[in-house]
């Protein structure tokens, strides 16, 4: 199986350690890792070329398209980020901004509807929930329904070795349990698309149908039409 990991920091700290523990159960599998900001250093400049014309016109296309290819090919997506001021790292947000054109109201990929994803995050005291939410929002609007969150509060120290042993054991046990659960899945079967993602799809389908009536040449409408989604085809049945 193939796993694509997007690390929201280049630091080999607590988040890195938790991600390594998670991946232990997948030893021998094909794992592609991206470290941010190194592997997607540019910010979205708001040129809107990706929305209006083509994503390969983005000034950062060489980075973005490499990440997209790895995500499309993966059976499992893993996103990691420590909580910075109660949210995902700026590097993670900058990378997610580049995938605005893959949100449901634009041009979501049918492959995403059958994917599984895990979010690994931790904070000192508060912010893990909102950090996971930052990443979950994008995943869900890309069409992913199966999203597991591994969230932790360190509560004492931000350096792994200084965290009390009992706390370290609890966190390690929890992440390994999540990893074992994800390992036991049959990845030949696509994940089921949930109610909320289907709702988003049908709302946007209505929107795209209207936009297409006004302008049949509209980029996003043409994409929806060519996928058959304005008609009877559904991305979760691909």
Residues of this chain that interact with ligand FMN (CB under 6 A) are 9, 11, 13-15, 82-86, 122-127, 154, 158
Closer to ligand FMN by CB, 161 or 217: give it.
161
CB 163, min distance to ligand FMN, A? 10
CB 119, min distance to ligand FMN, A? 14
- The CA radius of gyration of the chain, in Å to the nearest whole number, is 19
Pair 79, 144: CB distance under 8 Å? no
CB 179, min distance to ligand FMN, A? 18
Q: Which residues contact 126 (CB under 8 A, 6 or more apart)?
A: 83, 86, 153
Query: What 3-state class would DSSP assign to 75?
Result: coil
Q: How far apart are CA 138 and CA 96, in angstroms?
A: 7
Number of residue whose CB is nearest ligand FMN:
13
Closer to ligand FMN by CB, 21 or 123: give it.
123
Query: What 3-state class would DSSP assign to 84?
Result: strand
Which residues face 80 on adjacent strands? 7, 120
Burial of residue 23 (CB within 10 Å: 0-12, 13-18, 19+) is middle
Closer to ligand FMN by CB, 84 or 223: give it.
84
Closer to ligand FMN by CB, 129 or 148: give it.
129
Residue with tokens 């409408």: 221
CB 21, min distance to ligand FMN, A? 13
CB 152, min distance to ligand FMN, A? 9
Closer to ligand FMN by CB, 2 or 151: give it.
151
């Amino acid at each position: 199986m193939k796993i694509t990991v997007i690390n929201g920091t280049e630091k080999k700290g607590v988040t890195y350690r938790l991600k390594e523990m998670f991946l232990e159960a997948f030893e021998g599998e094909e794992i592609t890792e991206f470290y941010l900001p190194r592997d997607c250093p540019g910010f979205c400049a708001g040129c809107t070329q990706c929305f209006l014309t083509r994503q390969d016109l983005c000034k950062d296309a060489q980075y973005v398209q490499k990440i997209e290819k790895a995500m499309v090919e993966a059976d499992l997506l893993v996103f990691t980020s420590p909580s910075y001021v109660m949210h995902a790292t700026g590097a993670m947000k900058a990378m997610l901004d580049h995938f605005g054109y893959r949100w449901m109201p634009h041009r979501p990929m049918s492959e995403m509807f059958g994917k599984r994803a895990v979010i690994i995050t931790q904070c000192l005291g508060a912010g893990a929930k909102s950090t996971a939410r930052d990443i979950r929002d994008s995943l869900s609007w890309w069409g992913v329904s199966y999203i597991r969150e591994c969230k932790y509060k360190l509560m004492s120290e931000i350096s792994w070795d200084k965290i009390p042993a009992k706390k370290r054991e609890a966190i390690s046990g929890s992440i390994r349990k999540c990893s074992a659960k994800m390992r036991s899945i049959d990845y030949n079967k696509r994940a089921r698309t949930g109610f909320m993602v289907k709702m988003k799809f049908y709302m946007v389908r209505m929107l795209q149908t209207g936009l297409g009536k006004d302008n049949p040449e509209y980029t996003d409408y043409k994409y929806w039409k060519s996928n058959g989604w304005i008609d009877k085809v559904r991305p979760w049945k691909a």
